[in-house]
Amino acid sequence: MKIFGESIDTEIWDAIINGPFVPKLEKDDVFIEKSWSQWTKLENKKAQYDCIAKNIINSALNSDEFFRISQCAFVKEMWDILEVTHEGTTDVKRARKHALTKKYEVFNMLKGETISDVQKRFRHRVNHLISLGKIFEREELNIKILKCWIDLGNQRSHLF
């Protein structure tokens, strides 16, 4: 979704993550929302990003998902509901990250698995961890995958 929104305009992703742009007017050191008739063309364009983003998300959803977020006034509300529904709360993400980290630590090439298959399975696990906020150094990943192959080679040599 980020890639798609940013490909149209980076301000669309900003509206999804940070909420709609609301033009404000300073009056006596207090900021108040401007009435729609007072908006400049630029302010109108910036406020439109929320509508564009809502349209993008609505277009990507099936009917069940659509009804889950159909009453949201702003795209940020929609995104927050979809994010919790599909990725879980912060606690759920933390638990998932912990469990996947454990699986990463004991990752090994399986008997009969091709190099292509192991790399695909490894990349999937690493990408999932990255999406949950884990940071890897390239060298760490390279060493981890090489150890898998070396360990498998050692296991095979013990058989003979």
- Start-to-end CA distance of the chain, whole Å, equals 52
49's tokens:
């990003």
Nearest-angstrom CA–CA distance, 16 and 75: 5
pLDDT in tens, 110-121: 888 888 898 999
Residues of the chain with pLDDT under 70: 151-160
What is the Cβ-side half-sphere exposure of residue 85, based on CA atoms within 13 angstroms? 11
CA distances to 131, 137, 145 from 140, rounded to whole Å, are 17, 5, 9
Nearest-angstrom CA–CA distance, 40 and 24: 11
Predicted local confidence at residue 158, as pLDDT: 47
Q: What is the pTM of this model?
A: 0.64
